[in-house]
Amino acid sequence: MKFLDQAKVYVRSGDGGAGCVSFRREKFIEFGGPNGGDGGRGGDVVVECTDGLNTLIDYRYQQHFKARPGMHGMGKNRNGPRGDDVVLKVPQGTEIYAEDGETLLADMTEVGQRVVLARGGNGGFGNAYFKSSTNQAPRHANPGQTGTEMWIWLRLKLIADAGLVGLPNAGKSTFLAAVSAAKPKIADYPFTTLHPGLGVVGVDGREFVLADIPGLIEGAHEGHGLGDRFLGHVERCRVLIHLVDGTGEHAGKAYKTVRAELEAYGHGLSDKPEIVVLTKADSLDEETRKDQVARLKRAAKRTPYVISAASGAGVRDVLRAVMAMLDGVDAAEAERADDAPWQP
């Protein structure tokens, strides 16, 4: 199944049904009076967060969704039935934006969450509604209200505990494959990963979800390479794992390149807790490894972890550090929640 994380969709709620103008006409009943029923309400446009979906590919082939209109009122005081709703099922982590692409309408973060995007039009009143002591034979009824139409953007942002960032060929996919059951594409050329991936990582009897995104290059925020749009998939991550290729020319410069792209992207990515890792240690001699570790330490201002995902050396230490950092983030969030002012 192809991965699609963005789609533009047209939605329209149903029109309300018109009221009916009718009079009771029966033998031996001389003054039957008005008995026109009300029109039915139009259907709503509803977005539902559903388990089992991980892409927006369904909206590649259908972009128009229209709810059913309400039925018109009928004689004998019969009201028209309500129009059927149209339900858009989206994966967990989908954000819904207005047509301008900036106004957030809804954030679908929990399975089972339902949001009404566009309400159907109200049905019109039949002439029975307007009867009174001074108007005993009204001959008019209301038309139904028109529905609401709009274009919306659906944007999927994966929900994970930790996210992998780095230059192309930094070993992100290899790391994901080594620590989880995920099977990302791995090859010896840049931009092997074209779509984000997820994996469940287990360490010391505990688990967390790890996200892998395509590599960044210098100028990605200007559209170079694959751009920086995929960084949206690590916005929800609580911890970033920054992988730096030890076989590159200068580990410190590679680290600063990615950090510059994170800062240019914004959305708080540069402020997230980070674990710095030097990869491909099995391909380095002792002297080169020391030089690369020293360069990366000066650039990141912290001692990096040194690993080899191929042999597994140092990988478990990184996973334990991630788990400890996740526990620290959880504790800080709980403390902030306790210190928050009470809301009645």
For the chain, how far is it from start to end, CA to CA, in angstroms?
47
Instruction: Write down the pLDDT at residue 342.
Output: 47
- For the full predicted model, state whether its pTM sits above 0.95: no
Residue 260 in marked binding region: no
Residue 200: pLDDT over 90: no
Residue 185 in marked binding region: no
Longest CA pairwise span in the chain (Å)? 110
Residue 281 in marked binding region: yes
Q: Which sign, positive or negative, has the C-alpha torsion 227, 229, 233, 234?
A: positive
Residue 169 in marked binding region: yes
Among left, alpha and beta (phi > 0; psi -120 to 50; other), residue 77 is: left
Residue 191 in marked binding region: yes
**Which residues on neighbouring strands pair with residue 106, listed in sequence order?**
96
Residue 215 in marked binding region: yes
Residue 166 in marked binding region: yes
**Which residues on neighbouring strands pair with residue 209, listed in sequence order?**
200
Residue 180 in marked binding region: no
Residue 310 in marked binding region: yes
Mean pLDDT of the chain: 86
Nearest-angstrom CA–CA distance, 293 and 277: 9
DSSP 222-241: GT-TT-SGGGGGGTT-SEEE
Instruction: Write down the pLDDT at residue 188.
Output: 66
Residue 32 in marked binding region: no
Which has the minimum average pLDDT: 98-112, 235-249, 323-337? Answer: 323-337
Model confidence at 7, in pLDDT bands (50, 70, 90)?
A: very high
Residue 4 in marked binding region: no
Instruction: Write down the pLDDT at residue 272.
Output: 86
Residue 93 in marked binding region: no
Instruction: Write down the pLDDT at residue 344.
Output: 45
Q: Between β-strands 274-279 and 239-245, what pairing exists: parallel, antiparallel or unpaired?
A: parallel
Residue 160 in marked binding region: no
Residue 186 in marked binding region: no
Instruction: Encode pLDDT of 120-130 as tens digits.
Output: 999 999 999 99
Nearest-angstrom CA–CA distance, 162 and 191: 21
Residue 214 in marked binding region: yes
The 10 Å CB-count burial string (b at 16+, else e) for 75-88 is: bebbbbebbebbeb
What is residue 297's DSSP assignment?
Answer: H
Residue 163 in marked binding region: no
**What domains can be seen in the chain, in order of their start residue?**
1-156 (2.70.210.12), 162-337 (3.40.50.300)
The more confidently predicted of residues 179 and 44 is 44
Across residues 146-160, what is the average pLDDT? Answer: 90
